[in-house]
Structure 1
Amino acid sequence: MALGFRKLRQSLFINTLPRLLAGLLFIYVYCEYLIYYVVQIQCGFPTLDKKTNVEPVYAMIFADPHLLGRNAHWLDKWRREWQMHRAFQTAMTLHTPEIVFVLGDLFDEGDKCSEKDFSDYVQRFHELFKVPDGTSLYAVAGNHDVGFHYKITPQLSGRWERRMRAPPVRLLSVRGAHFVLLNSMALQGDGCELCARADAEIHDIADILKCSSGSKLCKGKKKLEKYSRPILIQHFPLYRASDSQCTEPDAAPLPERDSLFVERRDCLSKESTEYLVESLHPRLAFGGHTHHSCALRHSFVPTSDHKIEFVEYTVPSFSWRNRLDPKYYLVTISSDEARVSKCELPREWTLQVTAVTLLAALLLYLRYSNTRRKDFNYNKHLSGKKV
């Protein structure tokens, strides 16, 4: 009798352990890999309303990953970077954008770390956010990368420009879609060396756009192949009094939403914003910095007979450390149209609830399966006995 029950226990152990391990492996793979596909496959590049003979430009835009520095706890650092890496690589696999724009604050301690730590930062960033062949990545500086304007030194701005190949201002043109990439901290207008360089570049780009549009105000000879109003890409939002007009579900929570912005710290100054808009006549603008979402329609009237209207999108942070529901944008752009999709990443509580639910289901399945097997084997054992 005792020998029979010993064999029964051994049989249950041999049958249960492989199932338990297989179940735990599935839970791990699903929660650490597959769930990113399940969530992100629901989002894609939007379709343009107007048909065009030229292939549209497909761009992915994300903001504020804030890679942690030397002073961060290693477990928090590993966990957050692993999440962002999986989410980004999944996006590359599912969507394969032509261009990726990162709207600043790539690094959490980029403005105060040593040269060696900055080099490590850059290497980690490119490892975590590796793009496939055929995709180009462009980053604009954030205040955590080079410091706020009052803190920027030639050394801080110089190493950012060299290592990230990101000048203060850049004009990027792809098949009739034009992007102006800006260092927000270089738009203070106080005549500093960095600001003077940025101002000169903006002036040159503005003249190229005027010449390309056929404006009589054109002074130079450089022209674009095909003119279209540009798209602004920078870290700071354009000037606004607060986030009170931002009504998206992932906008800043109340009462934070009604807190007044401080110019040059929370957003561009009003003067710099008017200068950019009147110089470049954008059709779209993207910024980050607040870690929250906002879609805001601007209307500028520089003269009584001229109005400049466009929509500005503030992109939420890509890091679970900054918000519970990170997001990114997919944008489809032609020379005369642009459409935007906001894509969600798995919420952290979704990962946790999913793991707990799957674990509970696994344990219930094993208990039910073992109970049935035990009853079957016990009855079989009794039926084999002689009476």
Structure 2
Amino acid sequence: MHSFSPHILISYWPLFLVTGTVLFNEYFIYFIKISFTCNWLSTIVHFSDSDRIHVFFIADTHILGVKNGHWFDKLRREWQMYRSYHSAVHLLSPDAVFFLGDLMDEGQWGDWSTFAKYADRFDSLFRSSLSKPEVHMLAGNHDLGFHYAISPFRVQWFEERFNRSIVDTVSIKGHHFVLITSMALHRDGCRLCHEAEVELENLAKDRFQPFRRPILLQHFPLFRLNDDDCLRDDDFDYEDPARNELYRPGWEALSEASTQFLIQKFEPRAVFNGHTHRGCKKRWVQPVEFWEYTVNSFSWRNGDRPTFLLATISEHDVGFYFSITFGYYSWTTLN
């Protein structure tokens, strides 16, 4: 048997250094970062309700496609999201995960086989054979197209592939979530908008049992002119040059009419969305009080602040705690 020679270490130290550096930066760093900077709000603020649940909210993964995605960029971004997501799920064990639209970058183009290929790739990154957490997706404009470009066939593909209607509900331990396709909220009388409006009207009339104000999930933010109304906290990126750009109703945010329709019909406890690729916390006081949170993109390709949001939901409170990969963190309680 040959004894270990220090000459081997001396001779191959560059290889050991490179291997160790790659392993640390591409694998272990995710566990270290999440372990030290992420936690459920229930471990900081007292949430004693037996029906408490823990939820991840993730937006704008933008799985790259065949048209605009370079293979190395695709490999790099998908690995970052895959490793971040599965490390977080392993360490934090959420009850459910909601993806808030734009699962794909080019889902609005191509035929069924191309769409199915993108959907399979999304599943390979974020699905699991385990029963927990339960994973729910809703559509964004990059999955179906904007309002005037949506094909009925593409809507059907998304419904069949992800088991998600244009308006849907999910209930977990008595907490009710309403999942809404934002592009169907133009309220212009089109077939898609009419179907969505009828379904929303019926949901609002039926109420939820046991009754609790629902949490609205959608891709577009509620109506706002720009991000001037956002809370100036650690999640507010003062260096973003596009912060003051005006939002076009129906494109960057819902119209004012659609927003008031949702608020008046459902009186939500909270609203979570994505789409803008920047975080925003906004307090609404009229006609009911609630917090809206716009989740930053989970993909580093859309900025250097990739984010996922941790929410603790109980009968009396909705609290969230966001994590920015390789960034900072903070928490807020939503009453």
Matching of residues 138-287 of structure 1 within 5 Å: 138-209=136-207, 224=209, 226-246=210-230, 247-251=232-236, 253-287=239-273
Match of 1:31 among 4, 25, 48: 25
Matched-pair identity in %:
38
Match of 2:40 among 38, 41, 45: 45
**Which deviates more, 259-268 or 238-247?**
238-247
Higher helix share: 1
Q: 1:18 to 1:197 in 2, by over 3 A?
A: same
Q: In the alignment, residue 234 of structure 1 is paired with which amino acid?
A: Q
Q: CA deviation at 1:208?
A: 2.0
Total equivalences in the alignment: 316
Residues 65-110 of structure 1: per-residue CA shift (max 9 Å, x gap):
1011002211111111111111111011011111100010111100
Q: CA deviation at 1:18?
A: 4.0
Distance in 1 between residues matched to 2:9 and 2:289, nearest whole Å: 68
Which residue does 2:54 correspond to in 1?
58
Which residue does 2:330 correspond to in 1?
none
Distance in 2 between residues matched to 1:228 and 1:115, nearest whole Å: 39
Which residue does 1:305 correspond to in 2?
none
Q: What's the secondary structure of 2:281's corresponding residue?
A: strand
Q: What's the secondary structure of 2:127's corresponding residue?
A: coil
1:296 aligns with 2:276: no
Q: CA deviation at 1:153?
A: 1.3
Q: CA deviation at 1:255?
A: 4.1
CA RMSD of aligned residues (A): 1.6
Distance in 2 between residues matched to 1:328 and 1:292, nearest whole Å: 12
TM-score of the superposition, structure 1-length normalised?
0.78
Q: In the alignment, residue 189 of structure 2 is paired with which amino acid?
A: G
Matching of residues 354-369 of structure 1 within 5 Å: none
Distance in 1 between residues matched to 2:249 and 2:226, nearest whole Å: 10
Q: In the alignment, residue 144 of structure 1 is paired with which amino acid?
A: H
Which residue does 1:384 correspond to in 2?
none
Q: In the alignment, residue 340 of structure 1 is paired with which amino acid?
A: F
TM-score of the superposition, structure 2-length normalised?
0.90
Q: CA deviation at 1:38?
A: 1.0
Distance in 2 between residues matched to 1:171 and 1:73, nearest whole Å: 37
Q: CA deviation at 1:50?
A: 4.6
Which residue does 1:126 correspond to in 2?
123
Aligned residues of 1:263 and 1:269 also touching (Cα < 8 A): yes
Distance in 1 between residues matched to 2:240 and 2:8, nearest whole Å: 56
Q: 1:61 to 1:15 in 2, by over 3 A?
A: closer
1:104 aligns with 2:101: yes
Q: CA deviation at 1:157?
A: 1.0
Which residue does 2:332 correspond to in 1?
none
Q: 1:16 to 1:290 in 2, by over 3 A?
A: same
Q: CA deviation at 1:179?
A: 0.6
Q: Which runs of 5+ in 1 are unaligned?
A: 1-10, 210-222, 302-307, 348-387
